[in-house]
Structure 1
Amino acid sequence: MKEKSIPKAKKQESFTPHYVAINRVKRSFERAKDRQSDSSTEFVEVK
C-alpha cells in the first residue's frame, strides 16, 4: 500500500506546476490580446 501511495504523491507534485504554467500561459495570452488590440487600432489609424 505504501508503494502505491508514493507514486500518487509524485503525480500530484508534477500536476501542480502544470496548473501554475497554465495560469501563466493564460495571463500571457491575455496580455498578447491586449497588445494585439492596441496595435491593430494603431495600424487602422495609419491606413
Structure 2
Amino acid sequence: MTLNRNGIEIPVVETSPQRAVEAISLTRDLIATIKGPVIPEDGPE
C-alpha cells in the first residue's frame, strides 16, 4: 500500500502499536512469574 502526494509515492506500513505493547507486557509478566521480577521493586542501584 502506498500514499501518493504531489507525485511522490510513500510506502505505508500498517502497524498495531497497542498489540506490540501488550505482547511485550505479557512477555515481561510471564518472565517475572517464572523467574521473579526482572527489575527489583526498589529499582536498579
TM-score of the superposition, structure 1-length normalised? Answer: 0.43
Which structure: greater helix fraction? 1
Higher relative contact order (CA 8 A, sep 6+): 2
TM-score using structure 2 length: 0.45
| Structure with the largest fraction of strand | 2
Larger-Rg structure: 1
